Structure 1
Amino acid sequence: MKRIITIQHTQSVHHTNGMIGSWTDWDLTNLGKEQANNIGIKLKEELSKDNVYVMYSSDLKRAKQTAEIVAKHLNLEPFINEALRERNLGSAVGKSVQWLRENQTAWEKTIDDRCVPDAESRRETWNRLEPFYNDIVSSDDENILIVSHGDTLSIFNAMWLGLKPDDLNNCDLFGFAGGVSHFIEDDNGKHIIKRISDMSYIK
């Protein structure tokens, strides 16, 4: 049996100042650090001390800081992987949400649309994440923690359910900042989502 826990990074500065997240390298807020600490405390209480865990994190600071805070409670050292980055919004990176509203060149109705011409499409994010996903699902590691971002984890959720990229034109499964999700692959290879974006961990 394989167990995967995903953590969407906690409150970041860009959640409070009207700026774009994406590849802009924002820090956590003080509240975000407190939320990450609470996640670590609760996971330490919940996870079996007899199991060996491995943790992966996006290299962007808001995810990396979340991972490092949680990891201290679990005596882990996160492995940093750029495949777990948030979707790249191109020229919108470093800009405000208002700037994007005023300069958006297309509505993202499909996974191939781009809000600005040089942005990463959701299909490209899928293709970036897929090798990492395949590696961890096929690995011998039975207990895995992943710290990443909202859009990227929504694609992870779809992959876990066996959806194809084009299915994202018709459905989505997004979480919230600080949400913790539990995924299980049973001994028959069945993929189960036990919890999705559980916000009780941050309190």
Structure 2
Amino acid sequence: MKHIVTIQHTQSVHHTNGMVGSWTDWDLTDLGKEQADAIGKKLKEAFAEKDVVIYSSDLKRAKQTAEEITKYLGVEPIFKQELRERNLGKCCGKSVQWLRENIECPEKTVDDRLFSDGESRRDAWNRLRPFYEEVMASDDENIIIVSHGDLLSLWNAMFIGISVESLMEVDIHGPGGGVSHMFVGDDGKHMVRHINDMSYMV
């Protein structure tokens, strides 16, 4: 059986200052570090004496979340650009208010780009897909993935087997610090035990 835990990075400075996250590099807040520390402690209990592989986005807020968690697991995170949040182009470094006032193309399909130099949801899906397939084909039994809200919503869709086009009608999205548990049985069946469980930060 393959056991996969995904973690949306904990509270970042951009959650508190009204700025866009995307491909800008924000630190965790002090609260975010405490949240990541709490997640690490609980995952240590869940993975006691088990071999674990942990992958993380290389953006600072995810990287710092992963580093707090791995202090308890005795492994080094593997940083992957494929796990970065969706690139929103020219609005990176701008405020959320600026984004709302300057959108070039409202998202009506998965191929629309809010800004011409950014990624559509399909672009981000295509970026993530090879990594997803690599993880699913690996012999690793215990995998932790630290990433971002929009990117993990794509992972969730891939795991339960819905198409990228379905994302205009349904989405599985959660708040910062949410921990999700997924399994692949020996028969290949995909199972989801928890989505965006917030109790790990308590």
After TM superposition, the score normalised by the length of structure 1 is 0.98
Percent identity between the aligned chains?
62
Residue 78 of structure 1 corresponds to which residue in structure 2?
77
Residue 11 of structure 1 corresponds to which residue in structure 2?
11
Structure 1: gaps spanning 5 or more residues: none
Instruction: Report deviation, 1:47.
Output: 2.1
Residue 128 of structure 1 corresponds to which residue in structure 2?
127
Residue 196 of structure 2 corresponds to which residue in structure 1?
197
| CA shift digits 1:48-97 (9 cap, x unpaired) | 31x21100000000000000000001111000100000000000000000
Instruction: Report deviation, 1:109.
Output: 2.0
In 1, Cα distance between the equivalents of 2:97 and 2:164?
Answer: 29
In 2, Cα distance between the equivalents of 1:183 and 1:154?
Answer: 13
In 2, Cα distance between the equivalents of 1:46 and 1:144?
Answer: 12
Structure 1 residue 46 and structure 2 residue 72: aligned? no
Q: Which amino acid aligns with 2:131?
A: F
Structure 1 residue 33 and structure 2 residue 33: aligned? yes
Residue 148 of structure 1 corresponds to which residue in structure 2?
147
For residues 139-178 of structure 1, the aligned pairs below 5 Å read 139-178=138-177
In 2, Cα distance between the equivalents of 1:65 and 1:198?
Answer: 20
Instruction: Report deviation, 1:135.
Output: 0.2
In 1, Cα distance between the equivalents of 2:44 and 2:109?
Answer: 40
Instruction: Report deviation, 1:154.
Output: 0.2
Q: Which amino acid aligns with 1:107?
A: P
Q: Which amino acid aligns with 1:19?
A: M
Q: Which amino acid aligns with 2:108?
A: K
Q: Which amino acid aligns with 1:118?
A: D
For residues 61-140 of structure 1, the aligned pairs below 5 Å read 61-140=60-139
Instruction: Report deviation, 1:138.
Output: 0.3
Paired residue secondary structure (2:72): helix
Structure 2: gaps spanning 5 or more residues: none
Q: Which amino acid aligns with 1:106?
A: C
List, as ranges, runs of 4+ consecutive aligned residues in structure 1 with deviation greater than 3 Å. none
Instruction: Report deviation, 1:116.
Output: 1.5
Q: Which amino acid aligns with 1:8?
A: Q
Instruction: Report deviation, 1:186.
Output: 0.6
Instruction: Report deviation, 1:105.
Output: 1.6
| CA shift digits 1:115-162 (9 cap, x unpaired) | 122110000000000000000000010110000000000000000001
In 2, Cα distance between the equivalents of 1:111 and 1:175?
Answer: 19
Structure 1 residue 22 and structure 2 residue 31: aligned? no
Paired residue secondary structure (1:74): coil
In 1, Cα distance between the equivalents of 2:199 and 2:84?
Answer: 24
Instruction: Report deviation, 1:46.
Output: 2.1
In 1, Cα distance between the equivalents of 2:62 and 2:13?
Answer: 12
